[in-house]
Structure 1
Amino acid sequence: MVLPLLRSIDPERAHGMAIKALGMGLVPMGLLPGAAAQDDPRLAVTAFGLRFPNPVGLAAGFDKNADAGPALFRLGFGLVETGTVTPKPQIGNPRPRIFRLTEDQAVINRLGFNNKGLDVYLRNLARLSSRPVPLGANIGINKEGADPVRDYPALVTAVAPWVDYVVINVSSPNTPGLRDLQSEAQLRAILSAVRPVAGHLPILVKVAPDLSHDGLADLVEACVDNGVQGLIVSNTTISRPAGLVSAHRGEAGGLSGRPLRAMATRMLAQAYRLAHGRLTLIGTGGVFSGADVLEKIQAGAALVQLYTGFAYHGPALIPRLKQELLAALDQAHVERVADAVGTRADILAEPS
C-alpha cells in the first residue's frame, strides 16, 4: 500500500518522505523488503580494485545528503552512490521541479543540485563506515561562487576517508554552465587538479548522453591521460525522444527513465569502443528489467545503476532484477556477468 500512496502525492514530497523513513530505520510493509539474500556468485563483479556482490547499483540523486543511512544497504544493491553534494548548501531551482511522466515510465527533473552542503554530508557519511557494499560520492559545484579547479579537488579530499570511489559530475543539465566543463580543455584542468589529491581512490566522471561522438572521444582521452578510472554513462538528457505522451513531456529539465535507455546504451557502447579497455564503465539510463541490465553490460558496462526504475517500482525491483539477470545470462549461454562485458558493443554502438 505504501508505494501507491507515495505515487499519489507530489513527487518531491514523496521522495522526501521515503528518505526520512529510511533514515529513521523504519521498514513499513511495501517500502522495504526483508533481509537481502546472499547474491549468486555469478553476479559478482571486480572493478576499481573493489568487489561488488552484484552489478545493480543505486545512482546518485536518490540520497543526495547520505540521509538514508544504513537502511539503503539492506535493499540488495551491489553498490550505493550518494550525492550530488556541493561545497555549500543550496536550495536548487524553484518548485515544482520534479515531474512524473507515468505513461512513459519517465521523470523530468530540474532540481539544480539542491543539497545540505558538504558539512552535513560528511557527518552522514561517518555513519556508513561499516557497510556490506562499496559506497560512492557524487560531487558537484555550486551555482554561485564556484571555481571548478578549486572546488572539485577540495571535495575529493573531504570525502576520500569515507567512500570507496568518487564521481565528478560535470553533466547535470540543471546547473548553468556545468555541462561546458565536459569540454576537453576545462575537463583536463579539473582532472589535473584532482589527480594529486586522489591518491589510490578511484575517480570517475559522469557524462551527458547529449555529448557528440567527437566530444565523447575527447573526454575519454582527457580522462585516461589524467588517471581517471571510469565513466558513468549517462546522466539525464535535455532532448525529448519521439513518442512521449505524458502531459509533462514539455517541462524543462533532464529526462530519465525508459525513453533514455536506447540513447544512453548507444553512448555507453561508443565509450567502450573508444576506451579500448583503459576505463571501466558504469551504465545507467532506462533500466527496468534484467534484460536491460544485461544489455548495458553487453554494451560495455561492468556495473549498472538505476534511479527512475527504482522510483517507480520500489525496493522489490532489486531482487527481481537480479533473478531476471541470471535468467538472461542463461538464455545468452553466459556463465558470469563479467563474461558478458562489451560482447555486443559493436552492434549497440550503432543507431537502431
Structure 2
Amino acid sequence: MYRLVFNQVLSRFDAEDAHHLTVRALRLLSVTPVVRRLVHRRLAPRDPILRVQAFGVHFPSPFGLAAGFDKDAGFVGAMSALGFGHVEVGTITAYAQPGNARPRLFRLIANRAIINRMGFNNAGASAVARTLSRPRGVPAIVGVNIGKTKVVPESEAVDDYVTSAKELAPLADYLVVNVSSPNTPGLRDLQAVRLLGPLLRAVKEVADGTPRRTPLLVKIAPDLTDEDVDAVADLALELGLDGIIATNTTISREGVSSTETGGLSGRPLKARSMEVLRRLRARVGDRLVLVSVGGVENVDDVWERLLAGATLVQGYSAMIYEGPLWAHRVNRALARRLRRHGATGVREIIGRTAS
C-alpha cells in the first residue's frame, strides 16, 4: 500500500515538502500518547533474541534510525514506536541555523538514493536539550549527533562542539561527533587527525564528566582514503572512544546520473560503506563498537553488516521508499533468521565473517 501511495502521490511532491507531510503525521503520533503506546506495543522490537548491548547500553534491536531524519529530537517516541531499536537525532549545532537554501533535498528513485545539501538546519543545542528533557511516553534509546555551526570558523570549532556537548551529553544514551557531512564548508577537514585529536579530547572530557558517563563515537565519511580510515581508527583507540559510525553520505556520483551537489545516500553507498566497515573491523577488532550505516535497505544488509563486525546498524534513506513499517519488517525478519541459523542472540553472529 505504501509503495502505491509513494509512486502515485508522494513522488510527485518536492522531496522536502513530502518530508514535511511525513513530519506532520509523526507529530500527531507524538502528541497522542494512547496511540503512541498502542503503536509501540504492536511494532516496537520485543523479541529477546534481538537484544544487544553496546558501550554499556541495552538496545532492544541492533537496527536503528540514522541521524538526519529527526533533526530536533521531535519524534523520538514516534520512531521508537515504529520499530527502531534506537534513534539518532541531529545533526545538532550549538546555535540554531536555517541550513542551506532550497531546493536542498532530491530523490533519485531509480537508484533508490537521496541527495541532500540541507546544511545542518536545526533549532540549536539549547532548544533540543529542552525537547529531550520532556517525557517520551515509550522506551527509547537516543543517540545525539553534534556538528559545527556553519558561521563558526575552524579555529573555534572545538569550543563550538564543546558548547553542544555540555547541553546534550547528559541527555543522550550516546553522543556522536559528526565531522563528515559534505554540506558544511570545511567540516570534513576536521577528520584530519591533527585537528580531530584535540576536538575529540575536548568533547570526551565533557562526555566523561556526565553523571552516567556518556559513550562517545565519531562519524566518518566514506570518501576518506583507506589510510585515513586507519588513522581515525587508531586515534579512536588511543583516545578511548567507544565507537565509530561508518559512514556518512558521499560526494561521489559513481553509478548515478545526477549532478546535484550535496551528500548522496542510499543504495549507491552500499559497497563503500561495507568496505569501510570491513577495514575498521580488521583494524580495531572488537575493541570499539562499530555502527554501520550507508545503503542499508533490508534484512540481508543488516545481516551482512552484523556478520562483518558491526554491533549496531542504521538506516534512513530506504525508509523513504519502504514506508513507516520498514523497521518492524526488518526486525521480524532478523529474528527469524537468527533462529534459523541456530543463534540465541545477536551477539553470537557479530563479526562471524570478519577477517
TM-score when normalising by structure 1: 0.91
CA distance in 2, matches of 1:202, 1:149: 18
Equivalent residues in 2 for 1:108-119, closer than 5 Å: 108-119=115-126
Equivalent residues in 2 for 1:1-352, closer than 5 Å: 3-4=5-6, 5-25=9-29, 35-36=42-43, 38-128=45-135, 131-146=138-153, 147-199=156-208, 200-242=213-255, 244=256, 249-330=258-339, 332-346=341-355
CA distance in 1, matches of 2:172, 2:46: 22
Bigger CA drift: 88-97 or 163-172? 88-97
Contact 2:45 2:85 in 1 (8 A): no
Q: 1:38 to 1:287 in 2, by over 3 A?
A: closer
Q: Partner letter of residue 253 of structure 2? A: R
Q: 1:76 to 1:313 in 2, by over 3 A?
A: same
CA distance in 1, matches of 2:221, 2:260: 18
Contact 1:129 1:162 in 2 (8 A): no
Q: CA deviation at 1:274?
A: 0.8
Helix, strand or coil at the partner of 2:42: coil
CA distance in 1, matches of 2:221, 2:45: 34
Q: 1:136 to 1:128 in 2, by over 3 A?
A: farther
CA distance in 2, matches of 1:345, 1:315: 32
Q: CA deviation at 1:131?
A: 4.5
Q: Partner letter of residue 152 of structure 1? A: Y
Bigger CA drift: 327-336 or 66-75? 327-336
Q: CA deviation at 1:6?
A: 3.0
**What is the CA deviation profile of residues 13-61 of structure 1, one whole-angstrom value per residue up to 9, with x for unaligned ones?**
1112222331232789xxx797325522111100010110111101100
CA distance in 1, matches of 2:235, 2:308: 22
Percent of pairs with identical residues: 43
CA distance in 1, matches of 2:149, 2:45: 40
Q: CA deviation at 1:130?
A: 5.6
Bigger CA drift: 198-207 or 151-160? 151-160
Bigger CA drift: 5-14 or 226-235? 5-14
CA distance in 2, matches of 1:194, 1:51: 23
- The RMSD of aligned alpha carbons is 2.0
Specify every segment of 5 or more residues in structure 1 that has no aligned partner in the other structure, as ranges.
Answer: 347-352
Contact 2:222 2:276 in 1 (8 A): yes
Q: CA deviation at 1:149?
A: 1.3
Specify every segment of 5 or more residues in structure 2 that has no aligned partner in the other structure, as ranges.
Answer: none
CA distance in 1, matches of 2:203, 2:126: 20
Contact 2:45 2:331 in 1 (8 A): no
Helix, strand or coil at the partner of 2:319: helix
CA distance in 2, matches of 1:10, 1:336: 42
Q: Partner letter of residue 207 of structure 1? A: I
Helix, strand or coil at the partner of 2:114: strand
Contact 2:152 2:160 in 1 (8 A): no
Contact 2:93 2:161 in 1 (8 A): no
Q: CA deviation at 1:145?
A: 2.1
Q: Partner letter of residue 205 of structure 1? A: V
Q: 1:219 to 1:96 in 2, by over 3 A?
A: same
Helix, strand or coil at the partner of 2:99: coil
Q: Partner letter of residue 234 of structure 1? A: T
Give the aligned partner of residue 350 of structure 1. none
Q: CA deviation at 1:335?
A: 3.7
Bigger CA drift: 222-231 or 34-43? 34-43
